[in-house]
Amino acid sequence: MKVQPRTLSGFMELLPGQQVLMETFLAALRETYGLYGFTPLDTPIIESSEVLLAKGGGETEKQIYRFTKGDSDLSLRFDLTVPLAKYVALHYNDLAFPFRRYQIGKVYRGERAQRGRFREFYQADIDVIGDGKLDIVNDAEIPAIIYRTFSTLGLKNFQIRVNNRKILNGFYAILGLTDKAGDVMRTVDKLEKIGPEKVKGILTEDFGVSGGDADAVLSFIGIKGTNAQVLEALEAYRGRNELFDTGLDELGTVVKYLAAFGVPEDNFAVDLTIARGLDYYTGTVYETLMVDHPEIGSICSGGRYDNLAEYYTDKVLPGVGISIGVTRLFYVLQEQKMLNENANTAPADVLVIPMTEDLAPAIALATRLRDAGVRTQLYTEQKKFKAKMSYADKLAVPFAAFLGEDEVKEGVVSCKDMVSGEQTKLGFEETLARIQTALEARRRGTVIQER
């Protein structure tokens, strides 16, 4: 009796070629995050439920993988933020603040299964945590990190959209709508979908906002233009609410240093419609859109929060961070055929095929290639030559190297470029140089290729 092998639905399991692209993707994230002075962390996937659910409640709790083992009530982490909060509270005395960490790891949410939704998925987070205070320049640096990350991956046509919750909350306070701010923002969020008239209808009828205030909200949200123009338009509201003014100053600082941080204007926009949920973020908020694929939604979001670990400690730990939902983004890029089709996804760069009884010369060749950093596979199965070449083709190995009695005697290697078909018979060093040149050229392509 055999058991039918299967992988659970909602769990991504890639074929080898795609997995290589995923690894390249993750390596680019680690590299870029590292360039900004973030240190890698790794926390357990299982935590005590008491710790993980300290904040409690809501939609998330239903989705959590929670179970008992012996006497322990355990849960799988559903994001990387709660484990960070625990980590910082637990190891507070061993950390230097601002504490900058990245974490790339799997998280678990038992959502209803549907296409493109995953129950196990990678998040790639960075956060800067301050002790008591955290300078606003950290918020200004985040767009630079987002920009370099996606540029490194090969994405071009994307836009980082930034807003500040203090501006929104301050504005609603000016109108005396603070109590209704949540409802109003949720409604305004539907602007693109249902249009301004329906938004006004809901605001006035469902939430009792006066017609004048509803117009004021729509006109505020409708502020558009270059970053300088938006900031200038916002200046008109200055002086009426302290929180608003602080938010405007913060947003001004974020915009001011963009050029020094190397972020082109094209890839950045102040956007007053961005709110990012209602209770967690308190200042700067970020979303990132693929301009040609707005339907995908934000591919990198985050913001500033006042207090990371309030459920664990009395220390006030403000922070700013962003998160990339890697698995979903990778899935979407696959669907959109935006992953580099010419990337070298072979498990090896060279397949060494011995043509002699004694395998020692072929093995020694493989060893020398590996010593030189070339990923080499030795093919020693007893098969016909044609089968060996078809194996090389199936793996999409860039080069095949042959070593027969003649080659051994002459001290040369026969080496076939599997893409061009060109075959050479050269000494080891020349063969190595040829292989390395070709590999270097192929490495230049990025994971993502936009048309």
Residue ranges in 312-351 that form contacts with a second copy under rule CB under 8 A: 312-314, 347-348, 351
CA angle 232, 233, 234 (to 5 degrees): 90
The least distance separating a second copy from the CB of residue 140, rounded to whole angstroms, comes to 8
The least distance separating a second copy from the CB of residue 120, rounded to whole angstroms, comes to 5
77, 86, 161, 304: residue in contact with a second copy (rule CB under 8 A): 86
The least distance separating a second copy from the CB of residue 180, rounded to whole angstroms, comes to 30
H or E element that contains 217: helix 211-221
Q: Is 311 in the site for a second copy (CB under 8 A)?
A: yes
380, 419, 423, 443: residue in contact with a second copy (rule CB under 8 A): 380
Long-range contacts (CB closer than 8 Å, 24 or more residues apart) made by 4-10:
8/119, 9/113, 10/111, 10/113, 10/117, 10/118, 10/119, 10/120
Alpha-carbon distances, residue 185 vs 149, 217, 276 (angstroms): 30, 10, 10
Strands 99-108 and 39-40: parallel
Q: Is 42 in the site for a second copy (CB under 8 A)?
A: yes
Local structure of 417: helix, strand or coil: strand
227, 298, 377, 414: residue in contact with a second copy (rule CB under 8 A): 377
Q: Is 3 in the site for a second copy (CB under 8 A)?
A: yes
- Name which of 98 and 154 has its Cβ closer to a second copy: 98
Region for residue 130 given its phi and psi (left: phi exceeds 0; alpha: psi -120 to 50; beta: otherwise)? beta
57, 59, 69, 239: residue in contact with a second copy (rule CB under 8 A): 69
Alpha-carbon distances, residue 421 vs 52, 390, 406, 415 (angstroms): 57, 14, 21, 10
Q: Is 65 in the site for a second copy (CB under 8 A)?
A: yes
386, 394, 444, 451: residue in contact with a second copy (rule CB under 8 A): 394
- Name which of 120 and 245 has its Cβ closer to a second copy: 120
Which of these ranges, 192-200, 212-220, 244-252, 354-362, lies near a second copy under the rule CB under 8 A? 354-362
The least distance separating a second copy from the CB of residue 352, rounded to whole angstroms, comes to 9
Decide: 352 and 378 in contact? Cβ < 8 Å: yes
Which of these ranges, 184-192, 212-220, 276-284, 364-372, lies near a second copy under the rule CB under 8 A? 364-372
279, 357, 371, 440: residue in contact with a second copy (rule CB under 8 A): 371
Gap between the Cα atoms of 415 and 437, Å rounded? 14
Per-residue tokens: 324 = 């990339």
Interface map 114-153 toward a second copy (x if CB under 8 A):
-----xx---------x--xxx-xx--x--x---x-----
261, 306, 307, 449: residue in contact with a second copy (rule CB under 8 A): 261
Which of these ranges, 243-251, 330-338, 359-367, 416-424, lies near a second copy under the rule CB under 8 A? 359-367
3-state secondary structure 5-52: CCCCCCECCCCHHHHHHHHHHHHHHHHHHHHCCCEECCCCCEEEHHHH
Q: Is 22 in the site for a second copy (CB under 8 A)?
A: yes
Gap between the Cα atoms of 314 and 131, Å rounded? 11
The least distance separating a second copy from the CB of residue 393, rounded to whole angstroms, comes to 9
Beta strands in 153-251 (DSSP E): 158-164
Q: Which residues, numbered 146-205, are part of the site for a second copy (CB under 8 A)?
A: 148
Name 99's bridge partners: 129
29, 77, 78, 108: residue in contact with a second copy (rule CB under 8 A): 108
Strands 399-403 and 413-417: antiparallel
191, 233, 316, 364: residue in contact with a second copy (rule CB under 8 A): 364
The DSSP code for 418 is: T
Gap between the Cα atoms of 290 and 298, Å rounded? 8
The least distance separating a second copy from the CB of residue 241, rounded to whole angstroms, comes to 25
Gap between the Cα atoms of 91 and 95, Å rounded? 7
Gap between the Cα atoms of 432 and 444, Å rounded? 19
Backbone phi and psi for residue 417, each to the nearest 5 degrees, phi listed first? -75, 115
Local structure of 393: helix, strand or coil: helix
Q: Is 218 in the site for a second copy (CB under 8 A)?
A: no
- Name which of 39 and 424 has its Cβ closer to a second copy: 39
Using CB under 8 A as the binding criterion, the count of chain residues that bind a second copy stands at 101
- Name which of 213 and 349 has its Cβ closer to a second copy: 349
- Name which of 109 and 166 has its Cβ closer to a second copy: 109
The least distance separating a second copy from the CB of residue 424, rounded to whole angstroms, comes to 21
Q: Which residues, numbered 410-449, are part of the site for a second copy (CB under 8 A)?
A: none
Decide: 244 and 174 in contact? Cβ < 8 Å: yes
Name 120's bridge partners: 11, 108
The least distance separating a second copy from the CB of residue 76, rounded to whole angstroms, comes to 8
The DSSP code for 11 is: B
Q: Is 249 in the site for a second copy (CB under 8 A)?
A: no
H or E element that contains 438: helix 428-443
The least distance separating a second copy from the CB of residue 240, rounded to whole angstroms, comes to 28
